Amino acid sequence: MIKDITIGQYYPTNSIVHKLDPRVKIIGTFLFMISLFIINSFRTYIWVLMFLIFSLRLSKIPVRYVLKGLRPLLFILIFTLVINAFMTPGEVIYSIKTVTITKEGLTQGVFMVIRLIFLITGTSLLTLATSPIELTDGIEKLLDPFKKIKVPSHELAMMMTIALRFIPTLLDETDKIMKAQMARGADFESKNFLNRAKSLIPLLVPLFISSFRRADELAMAMEARCYRGGENRTKMKQIKLGKKDYIAFSILALYFIIVIAFQLRW
């Protein structure tokens, strides 16, 4: 289950999306997220689905690989559906004693689940189609205007990228610790909630120790290479907007306008 998490991982392919300027992909991801929270009708989600399929086809990332990242979040999706179905007042369609399922609640629950699926799938494309170095450069370039008010753009970009980069590493470490503890008799699949919570202690303690050790080793490695932040640093490859990036911006703007137009209509 842990290995199914795709957030923070990079899937290298020779696609148009991978070759785009990282700034385009970051801004596009934010526009996509904003559009999801603007939408409040099922009909408009048809355009979102079409846009996602179009982006996946261009990125050449297997749909099965992207959807695999939803498996660890299956409990959250089901929990969201159940909570909305039971807690939203409206026309009762099923009732057992004090528990009732309403039509409005079920509709709202399905709507929220679809929104979460689109949100996770769309945002995961950013890390799947952008290498950590490109992501750092893109975030730093976008934060450059804030340098005038003493915002450390390079340091912030570096911290965010390292955090994303270490997600797969920590997941692998968690998987190894779980297997080691299970070999020693730990039960992570107990149906008793208290027993399962207690079994997490021998997992979390070594995981935290390992994380702090990795952070210390990374800091020492950066210091040994005379890393001093963004001051007077140069880059071998400078990112520049090209023709394909402006075309991508136009497609993103068109998508956003269509979503707003359909939302206002329905």
- Where exactly are the structural domains of the chain? 1-130+239-266, 155-233
What is the predicted pLDDT for the residue at 154?
A: 74
Provide the whole-model pTM: 0.74
Burial class of residue 228 (count of CB atoms within 10 Å of its CB; 0-12, 13-18, 19+): exposed
Average pLDDT over residues 113-137: 85
Average pLDDT over residues 102-108: 82
Place of tokens 């996946």: 56
Q: Mean pLDDT score of the chain, rounded to an integer?
A: 80
Q: Is the pLDDT confidence value at 264 over 80? A: no
What is the predicted pLDDT for the residue at 193?
A: 63
Please tell me the distance from the alpha carbon of residue 139 to that of residue 182, in angstroms, as a whole number: 41
What is the predicted pLDDT for the residue at 19?
A: 87
Phi, psi of 99 (to 5 degrees): -95, 125
Please tell me the distance from the alpha carbon of residue 219 to that of residue 223, in angstroms, as a whole number: 6
What is the predicted pLDDT for the residue at 150?
A: 75
What is the predicted pLDDT for the residue at 190?
A: 63
Least confident stretch, 16-20, 52-56, 259-263:
259-263
- pLDDT tens track for 85-99: 787 777 777 777 777
Please tell me the distance from the alpha carbon of residue 22 to that of residue 161, in angstroms, as a whole number: 13
Nearest 5°: the CA angle 223, 228, 229 is 120
Higher pLDDT, 230 or 162: 162
% of the chain residues with pLDDT over 70:
88
Please tell me the distance from the alpha carbon of residue 239 to that of residue 174, in angstroms, as a whole number: 36
Q: Is the pLDDT confidence value at 125 over 60? A: yes
For residue 7, what pLDDT band results from cuts at 50, 70 and 90?
low
Within a 10 A sphere around the Cβ of 25, how many other Cβ atoms?
A: 25
Average pLDDT over residues 228-252: 78
Q: Chain centroid to CA 234: how far? A: 30
Q: Name which of 112, 190, 153 is nearest 23 in CA terms.
A: 153
The H-assigned helical ranges of the chain are 16-19, 22-38, 45-59, 63-68, 74-87, 103-128, 132-143, 153-183, 193-199, 201-224, 243-265
Average pLDDT over residues 62-90: 80
What is the predicted pLDDT for the residue at 235?
A: 67
